Amino acid sequence: MRVAIAGAGLAGLACAKYLCDAGHTPIVLERRDVLGGLVAAWQDEDGDWYETGLHVFFGAYPNMLQLFKELDIEERLQWKEHTLIFNQPEKPGTYSRFDVPDIPAPINVILSILRNNDMLSWEQKLRFAWGLWPAIVRGQDYVENMDKYSLLEWLERQGVDERVNSDIFIAASKALTFIGPEEVSATVPLTALNRFLQERYGSKVAFLDGSPTERLCQPMADYITEHGGEIHLNSALKEIQLNPDHTVRNFLMRGTEGQADYTIEADAYVSALSVDPLKTLFPEPWRKLEFFEKVTHLEGVPVINIHLWFDRKLTDIDQLLFSRSPLLSVYADMSNTCREYADPDRSMLELVLAPAADWISKSEADILSATLAELEKLFPDDFGGDNPTQLLKHKIVKTPRSVYKAVPGSQAYRPTQTTPISNFYLAGSYTMQEFLGSMEGAVLSGKRAAEAIAT
């Protein structure tokens, strides 16, 4: 079967890869000149990489890890110590760690929380555990049901201490969804926590050893073309054209460089677009169907990824860090965490600015100076004194609409990979699967779309 797939993010590439495995011929059509969508990366004039987002992989990503195995690139995942590290705003330049011992789940995670005395008092730990108890005992059904509440509302209902909210959940919800606990659906952090509590290495983090475009998307693309599939960059889906029975007749593609528009015909069609461009492409007859109407309620959330190259080493920590800054979310010194970006003498910090709604339209100069002001608090020794560190260069990547905004009620709007249209399928991390708006979610959605087509 010939299958046209619009979008070469991880969902589109995974769908194509698994279609190849099932003996079909995928034709992947990507609007941009780079693979990867939200994991896309570029090289600057010095050959240094900069990325759409700082990305980490978790032990609790079974489909992604399986994909690495199938592509024979497992050694590209650089696994870090099993620990979560938070900056301590009240003690600038210091860190608080949740070290997860190498014993079975969920005792390992529970012990890491019990042993941390910087961020939580014993009373707070007990209240925290009590508040989480229903999620642990009643499992994912309970967690899904909590989508009607924001995280903050849920915490209040559970009587969880205000300090627990501010210290841990702000950091977690900003890291998972780029919005704060007052906006995020309670289902999101509870889902993540449930996964971490179920698997011994679920919360263990890995960095890729280089840029996702080169080190992950390219091997996927090579696999697809070696198995008879096609990948076309600079190929934008312009319109989904229909047969009289409202099934898909063809994809109308936008002609580039003065060329005429052209059509792609196939036996089945997949949208692996992110949800915002997809919504604009629904043909008129489909808009009346409840399935597609629901999707129009989803929208991408803004986020900004910042890269700063310094003239010296600011830290030797080889791990993801939770900044606990009001401006920033997670960050990492990529000169320590990533083999291809390694530098023994200079730091390259990659930082996620979130929530970014108030910043997305601001100038790079404004974003840079606000970020540097935050870094003075995180690295007081390097930014103050007689010999402060010098910023050598920077790159800022703004994404006005990234993963779907996981506000309360959004679970009900997330579509399945099969649609009411018999030859049209959806893939993308916004579609319904258990891993939210993540790389694992994107790969799983692509795999599920491929399975649906192949059966």
Q: Which residues contact 296 (CB under 8 A, 6 or more apart)?
A: 279, 282, 287
Q: Which residues contact 98 (CB under 8 A, 6 or more apart)?
A: 83, 84, 85, 86, 112, 113, 115, 116
Residue 239 DSSP one-character state: E
Q: How far is the CB of 48 from ligand FAD (least distance, A)?
A: 18
Q: Is 233 in the site for ligand FAD (CB under 6 A)?
A: no
Q: Is 307 in the site for ligand FAD (CB under 6 A)?
A: no
* Size of interface with ligand FAD, in residues (CB under 6 A): 39
Rounded (to 5) percent helix, strand, coil in the chain:
40, 20, 40
Contact range with ligand FAD by CB under 6 A, out of 183-191, 338-346, 407-415, 440-448 = 440-448
**Interacting residue with ligand FAD among 189, 440, 452, 453 (CB under 6 A):** 440
**Interacting residue with ligand FAD among 38, 208, 314, 453 (CB under 6 A):** 38
How far apart CA 427 and CA 319 sit, in angstroms, is 31
Q: Is 421 in the site for ligand FAD (CB under 6 A)?
A: no
Q: Is 437 in the site for ligand FAD (CB under 6 A)?
A: yes
Which residues in the 256-295 window bind ligand FAD by CB under 6 A? Answer: 272-274, 277
Which residues in the 375-404 window bind ligand FAD by CB under 6 A? Answer: 399, 402-403
Phi (first) and psi of residue 240, to 5 degrees: -95, 110
Q: How far is the CB of 442 from ligand FAD (least distance, A)?
A: 3
Q: Which is closer to ligand FAD, CB of 119 or CB of 272?
A: 272
Phi-psi region of 270 (alpha: psi -120 to 50; beta: other; left: phi over 0): beta
Q: Which is closer to ligand FAD, CB of 164 or CB of 334?
A: 334
Which residues in the 192-231 window bind ligand FAD by CB under 6 A? Answer: none
How many CB atoms sit inside 10 A of residue 243's CB? 10
Q: Which two tokens stand for residue 349?
A: 């910090």
Q: What angle do CA 164, 168, 170 make, to 5 degrees?
A: 105
Q: Which is closer to ligand FAD, CB of 8 or CB of 378?
A: 8
Of 450, 418, 441, nearest to 63 by C-alpha is 441
Q: Is 252 in the site for ligand FAD (CB under 6 A)?
A: no
Phi-psi region of 246 (alpha: psi -120 to 50; beta: other; left: phi over 0): left
Contact range with ligand FAD by CB under 6 A, out of 23-31, 90-98, 131-139, 195-203 = 23-31
Footprint on this chain of ligand FAD (rule: CB under 6 A): 6-12, 29-32, 37-39, 52-56, 236-237, 272-274, 277, 303, 305, 352, 399, 402-403, 428-429, 437-442
